[in-house]
Amino acid sequence: MTNNTVPTRKPARPHFSSGPCAKPPGWAPEKLATESLGRSHRSKIGKGRIAYCLDLIREMLQLPDSHHIGIVPGSDTGAVEMAMWTMLGAKPVTTLAWESFGDGWVTDAVKQLKLDPTVIKADYGQLPALDQVDWSNDVIFTWNGTTSGVRVPNGDWIADDREGLCIADATSAVFAQDIPWDKIDVLTFSWQKVLGGEGAHGVLILGPRAVERLESYTPSWPLPKVFRLVKGGKLNEGIFTGATINTPSMLAVEDAIFSLEWVKSLGGLDAAKARANANAAALDKIVQERDWLGHLAVDPATRSNTSVCLTVEGADTDFIKKMAKLLEEQDAAYDVAGYRDAPAGLRIWCGATVDTADVEALGPWLDWAYASAKAA
């Protein structure tokens, strides 16, 4: 049942955007370290803070020493395209797509790189047939489909004896879902998702097989400076120890450090995953109690615990815009309309930086917005 009586209790932090996402609880700009601001990123303190950020990422993701971490330009998109443009072309390519960002990597492979890839697709809310993947190919996929709310259930489908590279866009999965690093050759993400950081910077993680590819293969197409990961035929190690390709925002670096230290204060990766799971469970309870709400991802085994996408009975895009506008005007929920290319619906971010109590408080507000939009 729904009604248009305005609820009395609001989420304390109504930030449910799927990127940039909610800041960690307790965040405030004056809490950021400032000694690196106004200094060169190549100064001792600048390189030191970037290196510290990389060390925290390694510790919090429980990343093995075999994998390299670098901060690159262009957010997650830049990191994925850097991997595609520097490594693809040596082997046949398979691309998986079940939402808009996966479709974007298909477009890059087909229209820009002209690689004639094998394309395995599924509709929004579904997962492609993972058993169709040929691991003699390089394989590109989104670990968690941010715009569909569908994730891969685990890494069991990734072959241990793969010949090709496993390239995973995991921007809305890291710090919330299990990543089997022995299965991953390239992984990308951005601070603006589960860490609640700022945009414009991507993180590129390379396993040993990715490094081997970079050092043994030169693409036939030219590479712009910001994509060049190899120097003199060898991996440019400086990129992965704090000497970034171009100038990063030290303010964004300090913001990421704040979030990573917050994750560490919780108890690390397991605690961050537990928070996301609790938030997703709280939202699922809201859905189960309402016959007009549903999950776009029907199968719980492949349903995201971060970018949770919901269907709304009888809603079209205009109706969803009305609901989202009503919620924002009341400061009850910000930025909850589904992605522009996705089926009409709501998208509620449930990552670790969101408090479960705020998700729980959202239910009556969704009732109110639904009833009010219907009555308008």
**DSSP output for 319-357:** HHHHHHHHHHHTTS-BS-BPPTTSPS-EEEE-STTS-HH
What is the Cα–Cα distance from 328 to 336, expressed in whole angstroms? Answer: 9
| CB contact burial 235-268 (16+ within 10 A = b; e otherwise) | bbeebbebbbbeebebebbbbbbbbbebbeebee
Residue-range domains of the chain with CATH: 29-264 (3.40.640.10), 268-375 (3.90.1150.10)
**Residue 42: DSSP 8-state:** T
**Residue 205: DSSP 8-state:** E
- With a cut of 50, which residues of the chain have pLDDT below it? 1
Query: Beta strands of 247-302 (E only): which ranges?
Result: 293-295
The answer for residues whose C-beta is within 8 angstroms of residue 274's C-beta and 6 or more apart is: none
Reported as a single tens digit per residue, the pLDDT across 114-170 is 999 999 999 999 999 999 999 999 999 999 999 999 999 999 999 999 999 999 999
Per-position DSSP letters for 104-145, written without gaps between them: HHHHIIIIIS----EEEE--TT----GGG--TTSEEEEESEE
Taking alpha carbons only, the member of 305, 272, 353 closest to residue 295 is: 305
Residue 3's pLDDT is what? 65
Instruction: Judge contact between 249 and 48, C-beta under 8 A.
Output: no
Q: How many CB atoms are closer than 10 A to CB 211?
A: 21
Token pair listed for 265: 């204060």
Strand, coil or helix: 38: coil
Instruction: Judge contact between 244 and 238, C-beta under 8 A.
Output: no
Residue 25's pLDDT is what? 98
Token pair listed for 214: 């970079």
Please list the helix, strand and coil fractions of the chain in percent, rounded to the nearest 5, in that order. Answer: 40, 15, 45
Report in angstroms the alpha-carbon separations of 168 from 189, 244, 323, 367.
9, 22, 34, 37
